[in-house]
Chains A and B, each alone.
Chain A
Amino acid sequence: MTTKRIVLSGAAMLISAIVLAAAAQRLLQPKYMSDVVEGNLIADYYESNYTHDVLFVGDCEVYENVSPVRLWEQYGIPSYIRGSAQQLIWQSYYLLEDALRYETPKVVFFNVLSMKYDTPQNEAYNRMSLEGMKWSPSKVHAIQASMTEEENFASYVFPILRYHSRWSELTADDFRYYFGVEPNFFSGYYLRADVKSAENVPTGRPLEDYGFGDVCWEYLDKMRMLCEEKGVKLVLMKAPSLYPYWYDEWNEQIVAYAEQHGLVYINFLEEKLLAQTGIDFATDTYDAGLHLNVYGAEKLSDWLGAYMQEQYALSDRRGDAALDAYWAEIAERYDAELARQLQNLEQYGSIHEPETT
């Protein structure tokens, strides 16, 4: 065998192995199209070709509680939610850093619930928050900061190392969405139309230590300085979710921080603000107070839209043909999804269609 043939054979073998492994990886990675759909939230951001005046950053208390479609339709404010399930503060920071590579919004809202976590929590949530990010130094740092002890960096670079055992759990979705998933979010918003009223919400158990971890303060500082550097207004918010419990001691620390650094902090759990938004936990939540449903999210968005126009003089961008068309498409999907869920609720008592066997 000549050297040339050896090199060619070796290269062919190597390329075949890589291509086939990549193909297998694509098949084995979760598609997040049914059951847990939140896994597609982060990647969805890169599908947007238009910039946003407002970004919301945080966990489920933003991606389920604020409706960007409503903000657009009512106030002409283009916005996006860079949120994911149990998104930790350092993940929010790196996701914001990543977003600021593409655009410079006027206002960034950060939901402060994640201040309660100062250590990596859960591999599954890490995956949903990080795998959808495009590769950049922000993603590398986010992974390094988020990994639990059982995780390793290589499995983020080569997800097949994590998902190889899914071969026995493959479903029709894995083949159907092999070449790409369908959008099931609305500018980062996860729409829920069902209702489960909040009753007997437990109060929080006393904690040994109410102080937020140093690492959380460090990332909040970094987020603040990043916004200052980019000329973006940072607003701290606590979404109107009744659970996980938001302690007064926690609230006081955020109030103090906001005062110290001249930031606005809006706690929607305050009775006055709750009354202003009009949120009714008998009808506006789908899981007994953890998250708002679409009716609650739209009420909160109405308040936010008015507030932002007043405080930050955000202009009404409606009338821009390209933006109108872009948001019309999202709104159309939004309305269709709402209609689908309502029909399912009426027909099956659940927003989901019954599983077919």
Chain B
Amino acid sequence: MLFTSGAFLVGLPILCIVYFVIPQRFRWMLLLAASYGFYACSGLENLLFILTTTISTYLLTCAMERIADQRKETLAANKSVWSRDEKKAYKEQMQKKRFWLLVCCLLLNFGILAVLKYGAFTLRNINSIAGWFGQGDVFAVPQLLLPMGISFYTFQTMGYAIDVYWEKYACEKNPARLALFVSFFPQLIQGPISRYDQLAQGLFAGNGFQAGRVLFGTQRILWGYLKKMVLADRILPAVTTLISDPAQYDGVYAFIGILYYTLNLYADFTGGIDITIGIGQVLGIPMAENFERPFFSKNITEYWRRWHITLGTWFKDYLFYPISVCAPMLNLSKWSRKTLGKTIGKYVPVYAATLIVWFTTGLWHGAAWNFIVWGLMNAVIILISERLTPLYDRFHKRFAWSNTHAYGGFQALRTTLLMGCLRMFDCYRDVPLTFRMFGSMFTKGNFSVLWDGSLLELSLSVSDYIVLAVGMVLLFVASMLGRKGSVRQRILEKSPVLSCAMTVALFLIVLIFGAYGIGYDSSQFIYNQF
């Protein structure tokens, strides 16, 4: 079920009304039923996978907790009896048990993800390697079912399991509650990847109706629909046209494709997140923000702190830090310092960890080489940027104008274009083709397409361009205003009437200018595919 489907648009208000009408203690149960209903709409067989993740995580985290409790009790009982070494040995023994439980949980659930999402990709690559040696296909490549949102709920749930292992918080004793945390419907499609300790309170509190919150939530939902339906879905046909025929649309067209896809992806992804967070806000369930004006970033590192924040922090907390301090990495660090010297050697483990994280990030986005190359390219650019930081600092000290707003704007534009170029791997989904198309931007020289009317032959009319231009201005102004705090809050404080009028206006804008219905192909959210 899509956020833009009729069933969802009708069902959501009904759910919200029922949520506020029923007794507080039943509200989370309603959300659980709604979430499973929502998920079942994507295919009943998908329930099997989400249930497996939920049940396995529940059993294994509870087992981890029982061992931790047992450890505490035993240590308390033997506090004065055992020596320090005995206590340490016991702790290690128990921690080892917990560790293996966590490993089971991770293996099972990441294993499901790996098989379903990466199985075919792996087999295809094995067949390709066999082909280099003159062998035929070693394996038949099956078409595997990919349950909706599996990357999102698996990462979220495994984050929870690791946190329980790290004893950041107690495990959830009620399996139904854990099931809701795993399956909470607004975030199933494209995140954000929530943390249990942040989401649980709102999820199970059963907060009642609160006018201001409902108004803000509604505004956020409508703003999300505006981004998705007015902008993303409107520009999508042009993006599809440009990508589908690279032979015809190269050179300047490829550059235009970068710009169009940047807008398409941003409006689509942030629009979906706005809808998700808005629904949470209406229901009184705060969710983590996933974006913070990413196109205002002055460099790629900053960009990744502002784009898909919850995925970035997930990788940082559960992959980058753990592998940075794991035994093999510490050994690598020692070896590199010894072999390459302290200056260069100290960077080796950091670079290795960064490359692993970005390789995984690329792989998370899709089972294809283009995503892997995209991830590694990000890593390379980030590492180069970091190495050049002293040079940048000297540059900024030397030239005062490099600290002006204008130069900041230039940096933001540069970062946006750089990220757009990297996203070409995502667009064309073919590594050699992406490089060819990138090269064509500098060699083709077909600049006349900018003014000879060719841009009107990309499934976009003049009126479409007008809507897109106005919409982009609206996004820019909202982003600028948003730097000083909540725009909605400020408008409400200034005038409740204006706030209500803004809500009505947003509704009408989506209703009239939305790219939906006959003549438009309502598209899935892009991140739903990941």
Contact = CB atoms under 8 A, between A and B. Distances in A.
B404 interface: no
A25 to B, nearest CB: 9
Nearest to A15: B504
B500 A168 contact: no
Contacts of A154: 6
Contact of B504 (A16, A123, A151, A162): A16
A160 B500 CA distance: 22
B508 A20 contact: yes
Interface in B482-509: 496, 500-501, 503-504, 507-508
B518 A24 contact: no
A275 interface: no
Contact of A1 (B211, B515, B518, B519): B211
Nearest to A152: B6
A10 interface: yes
Contact of A17 (B212, B463, B508, B513): B508
B512 interface: yes
Contact of B463 (A24, A150, A168): A168
A165 B519 contact: yes
Given A123-B518, A152-B6, A162-B518, A13 B512 contact: no
B190 to A, nearest CB: 25
Contact of B517 (A1, A6, A162, A167): A162
Contacts of B520: 165
Contacts of A161: 516-517
Interface in A1-38: 1, 6, 9-10, 12-13, 16-17, 20-21, 24, 28
A164 B517 contact: yes
Contacts of B6: 152, 154
B233 to A, nearest CB: 12
Contacts of A152: 6
Given A20-B508, A24-B508, A167-B513, A10 B211 contact: yes
B349 interface: no
Contacts of A168: 461, 463
Q: Which residue, of B503, B507, B508, B512, has the highest number of chain A Cβ atoms within 10 A?
A: B512
A168 B6 CA distance: 24
A60 to B, nearest CB: 23
Interface in A171-211: none
Interface string B139-159: 000000000000000000000
Interface in B244-301: none
A164 B511 contact: yes
B500 A12 contact: yes
B517 A21 contact: no
Nearest to B234: A165
A220 to B, nearest CB: 30
Interface of B: 6, 211-212, 461, 463, 496, 500-501, 503-504, 507-508, 511-520
Given A162-B517, A165-B515, 11 more contacts: A1-B211, A16-B500, A17-B508, A20-B504, A20-B508, A21-B507, A152-B6, A160-B512, A164-B511, A165-B517, A165-B520
Interface of A: 1, 6, 9-10, 12-13, 16-17, 20-21, 24, 28, 123, 150-152, 154-155, 160-162, 164-165, 167-168
**Closest 10 A/B residue pairs (Cβ):** A168-B463, A6-B211, A13-B500, A17-B504, A164-B512, A16-B504, A17-B507, A150-B518, A167-B512, A161-B517
